[in-house]
Amino acid sequence: MFDSVFENPAILAIVFTFIYTSYRDLVSREIPELSWVPAYLVVLIDFVVRRLNEFSLINTAVAMTPSLIYGLLFALGMIGGADFLAILLVSLGHLSEPLIPLLVFILSSMAPLPIAFINLLRNLTIDRKAIESINCVKGGKKILYLVGRLITVAEFLRKKFAFLHTYPEEEGFICIGSTNVNIDFEEQKKSLERALSRGLVKSDDYVVYSPALPHIVFIAASYLITLLAAFYVRELSIFLGKQL
């Protein structure tokens, strides 16, 4: 069912693209749209030349489900365009193997869960008093226990990629549980620096933040894990078939 990686140009194109885009995601959190074009061309040509006879409406519908979900999230502004392009590339590259896109979708979606669990545990124990002292004059505080962690203003200003969830105001903080995928990180820092200069917060005061996670890296890692699992499952089935 699964071709050898080195015999499948579509898989090779996807893997090499993920290597490059993961690097860009780690160092800048910005990935040029043109980075995806070569892999899309290879995947589509490979499908027409080698896999068109394997086309199945059911398999295609299942394989495209993760892309439809990501497309909806992108339309709602909840994820970046690169995340959608990454999962769509996986779906198109495995239209006849729908389990691969599904597993990549599940694994990459689960990757941030340990961070959320650690945040919740710390905020309910070690940092409980500090986070309770944050006065949310606008927005809810409960969601902050799950999405964010405490950091001093001085430490936050040294972060390169981070979302601020508590914005200083005259009488407290505007508390925001969501993240803006199109945020300008430098402008966010300048906003906090202005609040610091106005005396709304001190450098050793706490704010709540969450790291801007490199989700392309999660998708890429999930893809490689899924490919390895598929390879070993195939080899095991071949071995068992010979034994019977």
pLDDT tens digits, 178-209:
888 888 899 999 999 999 999 999 999 999 99
Is 77 a residue whose pLDDT tops 70? yes
Is 230 a residue whose pLDDT tops 90? no
Task: Determine the Cα–Cα distance for residues 1 and 91; give it in Å rounded to an integer.
Answer: 16
Residue 240: pLDDT band by 50, 70, 90 thresholds?
low
The pLDDT of residue 8 is 86
Domain span at 132: 113-211
**pLDDT mean over 226-238:** 74
Is 149 a residue whose pLDDT tops 80? yes
Is 4 a residue whose pLDDT tops 90? no
Give yes or no: residues 12 and 76 share one domain.
yes
The span from the first CA to the last CA of the chain, in angstroms, equals: 20
Give yes or no: residues 146 and 231 share one domain.
no
Give yes or no: residues 195 and 119 share one domain.
yes
What phi and psi, each to the nearest 5 degrees, are found at residue 36? -90, -20
The pLDDT of residue 16 is 96
Q: What residue has token string 């290879």?
A: 42
Structure tokens at 17: 């693209």
Give yes or no: residues 174 and 235 share one domain.
no
Give yes or no: residues 157 and 220 share one domain.
no
Share of the chain above pLDDT 90, in %: 71
> How many distinct structural domains can be found in the chain?
2
Give yes or no: residues 15 and 27 share one domain.
yes
pLDDT tens per residue, range 112-125: 899 989 999 999 99
Give yes or no: residues 33 and 153 share one domain.
no
Residue 2: pLDDT band by 50, 70, 90 thresholds?
very low
Task: Determine the Cα–Cα distance for residues 186 and 184; give it in Å rounded to an integer.
Answer: 6
The pLDDT of residue 6 is 55
The pLDDT of residue 3 is 47
Give yes or no: residues 181 and 237 share one domain.
no
Give yes or no: residues 30 and 99 share one domain.
yes
Residue 140: pLDDT band by 50, 70, 90 thresholds?
confident
Give yes or no: residues 75 and 144 share one domain.
no
User: SS3 letters for 106-117?
Assistant: HHHHHCCHHHHH
Give yes or no: residues 43 and 65 share one domain.
yes
The pLDDT of residue 171 is 87
Is 1 a residue whose pLDDT tops 60? no
pLDDT tens per residue, range 171-181: 899 999 888 88
150 or 52, which is more confident: 150
Give yes or no: residues 142 and 218 share one domain.
no
